[in-house]
């Protein structure tokens, strides 16, 4: 498929290790496997290898374990960052891991990675102690830095020290208390910046003279006092899922390339008046959001995908401001304002499974003539014959609905896949099924082939498009 599985925020930082140095004459042959300490010492810069061993995470480690923590750059390679409708490439490396004879592309950060010249390109630490902080700036070749947990509680990690590493392209700051966060703006090559489960202190501002070309900015499950996202002209994705935010501002006009904002299960402030969503925003994830403050959002016209799965709002009327919305997911949400759906005539994919959708709400879908995929699973619907008037409907799911008479399912001529109320009937295809139902099921020769339900039949097809929730949600 053209959409690749997205790994978690922490797992993608390595993709930004940067460009290989051009002096081919200085390249070294990758050590033989299994790796020995003698081979590693012959390959790696001795000062930088000694520096790695001096970090608390590695200094007392067993030699066998230590040797398994290394990887080696083979060549430059781009890595595709994909999440549903949004996809962009970031520079990376094709590497060989020290624990395997296989050559493959690695994107995880739990490795020490050496460049083809034997210089330290990426450093991962399971934990970063207070004593380790002075060591960070001593690796002048370091292009990517990642740690899982920072200094002890109530100990600040001052990001001012990172300004001594202008070559950094990727930062993954784990659980830690951070100060002077805005100093990252001085890193002129920084493209990837994530700080999950962190506690940045005070205001975070990206000023007009910010030179960091940040494309991915993530604060998953972080606690943020005051965040203003602005002046990041190359930012493509903003991840704030599971975060607790006391004050939030987003300046859309200064974020011309921002296409995706993830606020899944985010504890938002009551006042969102300082959020001006960018016109180029393609998808917005508000799954499991419980704050009615989101009704203050003015959704941009370009928005194509809105995810409200599991949300518990008293008012959803703000969704109608997304006039060109194509995909809306309301699964397991408190949504009951089904009359609002009629104000979204461009919908192609709609998921209302496990909601309060009833037979009386079916008429609200009458004007959605562009609809290609409809998921009514686990609703109290009893008769879907009115759907026969929808000319572009391609996939319908009726799993666990209240339909008992299959003759209340019309003979969809254009349907590629139908999931029946008793889904086992899709597999067993009993003889008692009505002929028109058999005809629909026979469009999938292999009863165990769910590819059509998963959207694979829409790849490179002009007849239908894939529902974005069938691609990858990208959640870390």
DSSP string, 410-429: ---SS-SEEE-SSTHHHHH-
Backbone angle region of 265, left / alpha / beta, with phi > 0 → left and psi within -120 to 50 → alpha? left
**Is residue 293 assigned to a domain?**
no
pLDDT at 100: 53
Average pLDDT over the chain reads 87
**Is residue 213 assigned to a domain?**
no
* 338-385 pLDDT tens trace: 999 999 999 999 999 999 999 999 999 999 999 999 999 999 999 999
Range of the domain at 441: 336-476
Number of domains in the chain: 2
**Average pLDDT rounded to a whole number, residues 115-132:** 92
Confidence of residue 7 (pLDDT cuts 50, 70, 90): very low
pLDDT score of 97 more than 80: no
**Is residue 236 assigned to a domain?**
no
Residue 319 and residue 142: Cα distance in Å, rounded? 45
pLDDT at 449: 63
Going from the C-alpha of 281 to that of each of 89, 218, 349, 432, the distances in angstroms are 18, 17, 18, 49
The residues with which 388 forms a beta bridge, in sequence order, are none
Residue 238 and residue 10: Cα distance in Å, rounded? 14
**Average pLDDT rounded to a whole number, residues 446-450:** 61
pLDDT at 459: 64
**Is residue 344 assigned to a domain?**
yes
The residues with which 158 forms a beta bridge, in sequence order, are 179
Tokens 């210089």 sit at which residue?
119
pLDDT score of 445 more than 90: no
**Is residue 454 assigned to a domain?**
yes
**Average pLDDT rounded to a whole number, residues 419-441:** 84
Residue 62 and residue 50: Cα distance in Å, rounded? 15
**Is residue 238 assigned to a domain?**
no
Flag the least confident range among 41-55, 144-158, 222-236, 373-387. Answer: 144-158
**Average pLDDT rounded to a whole number, residues 5-9:** 34
Residues 6+ apart with CB under 8 A from 155: 130, 177
User: Where among 143, 174, 200 does a domain terminate?
Assistant: 200
Flag the least confident range among 80-94, 96-110, 134-148, 237-251. Answer: 96-110
**Average pLDDT rounded to a whole number, residues 170-175:** 92
Confidence of residue 103 (pLDDT cuts 50, 70, 90): very low
**Average pLDDT rounded to a whole number, residues 52-77:** 91
**Is residue 372 assigned to a domain?**
yes
Task: Report the 10 Å Cβ neighbour count for 103.
Answer: 12
More confident residue, 256 or 33: 256
**Is residue 313 assigned to a domain?**
no
Residue 386 and residue 11: Cα distance in Å, rounded? 47
Residue 86 and residue 260: Cα distance in Å, rounded? 7
Residue 21 and residue 116: Cα distance in Å, rounded? 8
User: Where among 167, 200, 233 does a domain terminate?
Assistant: 200
Confidence of residue 140 (pLDDT cuts 50, 70, 90): confident
User: Where among 137, 167, 200 does a domain terminate?
Assistant: 200
CATH at residue 471: 3.80.10
**Cα-only R_g, the chain:** 26
């Amino acid at each position: 498929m053209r959409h690749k599985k997205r790994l978690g925020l922490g797992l993608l930082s390595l993709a930004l290790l940067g460009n290989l140095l051009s002096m081919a004459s200085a390249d070294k042959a990758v050590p033989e496997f299994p790796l020995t300490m003698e081979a590693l010492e012959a390959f790696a810069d001795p000062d930088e290898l000694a520096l790695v061993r001096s970090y608390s995470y590695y200094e007392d480690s067993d030699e066998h374990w230590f040797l398994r923590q290394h990887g080696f750059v083979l060549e430059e390679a781009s890595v595709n960052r994909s999440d549903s409708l949004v996809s962009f490439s970031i520079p990376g490396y094709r590497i060989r891991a020290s624990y395997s004879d296989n050559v493959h592309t690695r994107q995880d950060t739990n490795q020490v990675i050496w460049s083809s010249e034997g210089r330290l390109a990426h450093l991962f630490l399971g934990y970063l102690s207070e004593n380790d902080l002075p060591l960070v700036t001593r690796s002048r070749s370091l292009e990517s830095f990642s740690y899982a947990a920072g200094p002890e509680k109530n100990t600040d990690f001052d990001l001012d020290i990172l300004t001594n590493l202008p070559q950094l392209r990727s930062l993954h700051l784990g659980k830690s208390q951070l100060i002077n966060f805005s100093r990252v703006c001085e890193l002129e090559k920084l493209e990837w910046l994530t700080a999950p489960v962190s506690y940045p202190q005070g205001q975070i501002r990206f000023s007009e003279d910010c030179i960091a070309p940040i494309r991915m900015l993530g604060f998953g499950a972080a606690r943020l006092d005051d965040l203003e996202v602005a002046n990041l002209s190359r930012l493509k994705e903003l991840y704030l899922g599971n975060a607790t935010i006391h004050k939030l501002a987003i300046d859309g006009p200064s974020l011309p390339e921002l296409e995706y904002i993830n606020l899944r299960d985010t504890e938002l402030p009551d006042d969102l008046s300082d959020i001006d969503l960018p016109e180029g925003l393609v998808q917005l994830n508000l799954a499991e959001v419980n704050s009615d403050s989101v009704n203050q959002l003015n959704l941009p016209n370009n928005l194509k995908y809105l995810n409200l799965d599991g949300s518990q709002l008293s008012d959803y009327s703000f969704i109608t401001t997304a006039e060109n919305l194509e995909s809306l997911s309301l699964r397991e949400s408190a949504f009951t304002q089904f009359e609002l759906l009629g104000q979204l005539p461009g919908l192609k994919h709609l998921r209302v499974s496990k909601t309060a959708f009833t037979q009386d709400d079916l008429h609200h879908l009458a004007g959605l003539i562009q609809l290609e995929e409809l998921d009514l699973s686990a609703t109290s619907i009893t008769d879907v014959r009115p759907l026969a008037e929808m000319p572009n409907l391609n996939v319908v799911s009726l799993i666990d609905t209240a339909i008992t008479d299959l003759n209340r399912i019309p003979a969809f001529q254009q349907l590629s896949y139908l999931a029946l109320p008793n889904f086992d009937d899709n597999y067993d295809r009993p003889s008692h099924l009505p002929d028109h139902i058999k005809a629909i099921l026979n469009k999938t020769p292999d009863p165990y082939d769910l590819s059509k339900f998963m959207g694979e039949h829409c790849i490179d097809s002009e007849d239908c498009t894939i529902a974005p929730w069938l691609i990858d949600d990208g959640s870390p």
